[in-house]
Amino acid sequence: MTRLVRSLALGLLLAAASRAAYAEEGAGPAEENRSPLGINLSGVVDWSTEYPFVDVFRMSRAWVSNAEGKPWGQGGELDVDERGWVRQLAPGQFATTLILTSPGYPTGQYVCLYDGDGMLRIDSQRVVESQPGRLVVEVGDRPGLLLHIRRTNPENPVRNIRFLMPGCEETHQSQPFYKPFLERTKRFPVLRFMDWMQTNGSRQEQWSDRPRPDDANQSRGVCLEHMLDLCNELGVDPWFCMPHRADDEYVREFARLVWDRLELTRRVYVEHSNEVWNFGFEQARYAAAEGKRLQLSDNEYQGALRFHSRRSVAIFKIWDEEFGDSKRLVRVLGSHSANPWASEQVVGFEDAAQHADALAIAPYFGHSLGDPKNVEATLRGGLDGVFEECRRDIRRNGETIRRQADVAAAHGLELIAYEGGQHLVGHGGAENNTELTELLQAANRDPRMRELYAQDLAGWKANGGRLFVVFASPSQYSKWGSWGILEREDQPLETAPKHQALLEFAETNPRWWTPER
């Protein structure tokens, strides 16, 4: 079937698509979920406090090579295949991985299944049953589980390890996602997969580099199949960030798989990488080098922006070809929230806006409080000072958002937020100041944070913003930031002021624009 025929068929299907919401225990399609808020999903790693999968082995760490009588990690080179499974072990060698290293998971009896001929050993938790290919493990509330491959037959090596939450042995294939994760995530009609894709600093270039469902784990990036299955399960729209090194064939194959697997009623947000303006990320430095090579500007920063613009358009054209120039696509040009000039460069270079649908920024507040030159003043002001400065910052942001909205409107684009929320974290060395970290974490837990989020989102709406994709879903607080709307999967709502504010805003501010189809 040609893309044109597909596109015509799509129009007929969309016209006939049901508008009925799913039952309360399920998830409603994005057309019925009128929340103006999307969410950035936190990375799938062993230390995450968000548990998307009932098979928690998908969050396991890469294998560590160990040997009897030697220090941790000193087992010599480990023979691992391209999918991450151990092919064979040297004499005295064993392979170790870590799972469940952070709180928030359910306790009880987990079932560990595996294929192949070998022996697994579990440390830090109690094994109550053991037979070839299946172990039952009693998992308590103390995080941390070490799983070792102690023996594996090179002719039939241990592989396809699954470590299944209580009660999920019979259903893990048909119901792979953890129900509390689904129930919370379904409130957001758009899921941005930037961290699931490990976009920042991605090394993926060719389609063969992509993560796959049969990988040993999903900690090097979640496969596209899982992302699409999640969106189909919830009836929500995906937001994908194309790796900055990805070649055209990678982009084309990615788009084809989305077309083939994603429900036809779903829209798709497409973005070139993430924060290509931010020289703290490898992709921005790569863009600057490419901008120089292509002689796009004598200015390094402008060259990076122009390369981002040109590469974005090339990516959009590939998606247009694969989707038949479908209205299902939302083609996103990313820019620097604090710098409307940067947005002008991105949308105006080579008429990029003519091939796009949205300008996306990240209107965070509170960034200056973690600046090294402001640390002493931040500490002197205490919690009251933090909240007062954040209120001022939100008011200042309002004018910048309005200017960004004007840039977007002048080029026929919507203004949306790819990320946003509080940015209370030390940076430039200040992240190592323990007193500062404790103060900023306390501010995130303070009930007044609920009021700040309400003020921030109201300002976004009043100044011309549309979809706001919050950063981020549950994650632990650390010196690197307090990004999660929850600190752990099972955190009570009454102790989570940021999450409270988001739910209240979505309830009282249903989507104030009509998406084009």
Q: 263-304: per-residue pLDDT in tens? A: 999 999 999 999 999 999 999 999 999 999 999 999 999 999
Residue 304 maps to a domain? yes
Residue 383: is its pLDDT beyond 80? Answer: yes
Which is more confidently placed, 325 or 86? 86
pLDDT band of 516, cuts 50, 70, 90: low
Under a CB-based contact definition with an 8 Å cutoff, are residues 131 and 98 in contact?
A: no
Residue 387 sits in the same domain as residue 417:
yes
Going by pLDDT thresholds of 50, 70 and 90, the confidence category of residue 64 is very high
For residue 476, tell me if it sits in a domain: yes
Instruction: Kindly indicate the confidence band of residue 3, based on its pLDDT and cuts at 50, 70 and 90.
Output: low
Element (H, E) at 111: strand 108-115
User: 325 falls in which pLDDT band (50, 70, 90)?
Assistant: confident
Do residues 198 and 320 share a domain?
A: yes
Are 101 and 218 part of one and the same domain? no
At 421-477, the pLDDT tens digits run 999 999 999 999 999 999 999 999 999 999 999 999 999 999 999 999 999 999 999
* Distance separating alpha carbons of residues 287 and 153, to the nearest angstrom: 46
Q: Are residues 156 and 219 in the same domain?
A: no
pLDDT for 38 equals 98
Among 164, 192, 218, residue at a domain's last position: 164
Asked which of 140, 164, 188 is the last residue of a domain, the reply is: 164
Residues 81 and 194 in one domain: no
- pLDDT level of residue 1 (50, 70, 90 thresholds): very low
Tell me if 113 is assigned to some domain: yes
Residue 23 lies in a domain: no
Token pair of 66 as six digits: 């160990």
Please give the Cα distance from 499 to 76 (Å, whole number): 46
Q: Same domain, yes or no, for 402 and 429?
A: yes
Instruction: State the total domains in the chain.
Output: 2
Contact 120, 145 (CB under 8 A): no
Q: Kindly report, residue by residue over 206-242, the tens digit of the pLDDT.
A: 999 999 999 999 999 999 999 999 999 999 999 999 9
Query: What is the extent of the structural domain holding 43?
Result: 30-52+177-505
Domain end among 164, 199, 228: 164
Predicted local distance difference test score (pLDDT) of residue 11 = 43
Helix pair 448-462, 434-445: axis angle to 10 deg: 70
Q: Answer yes or no: is pLDDT of 143 > 60.
A: yes
Q: Is residue 410 part of a domain?
A: yes
Where residue 417 sits, what CATH number does that domain have? Answer: 3.20.20.80
State the average pLDDT over residues 17-32.
38
pLDDT at 515: 72
The verdict on 218 and 137 lying in the same domain is no
150/194 same-domain check: no
346 and 264, same structural domain?
Answer: yes
Residue 3 counted as domain residue:
no
Q: Is residue 46 domain-shared with residue 85, that is, in the same domain?
A: no
Whether residue 484 sits in one domain with residue 385: yes
- Note whether 284 and 278 are within 8 A (CB): yes
468-471 vs 37-40, strand pairing mode? parallel
For residue 368, what pLDDT is reported? 98
Q: Of 27, 400, 362, 316, which Cα lies nearest the Cα of 189?
A: 27
**DSSP code at position 58:** G
User: Model confidence over 346-364: pLDDT tens digits?
Assistant: 999 999 999 999 999 999 9
pLDDT at 7: 47
Residue 5 belongs to some domain of the structure:
no
Q: Which residues of 470-503 are buried (b: 16+ CB within 10 A; e: fewer)?
A: bbbbbbbbebebbbbbbbbbebeeeebbbbbbbb
Task: Answer yes or no: is 383 within a domain.
Answer: yes
**Predicted local distance difference test score (pLDDT) of residue 335:** 98
Report the alpha-carbon angle 172-59-187, nearest 5.
70
Supply the mean pLDDT for the chain: 94
For residues 409 and 287, state if they share a domain.
Answer: yes
Query: Which run of H or E residues covers position 150?
Result: strand 145-152
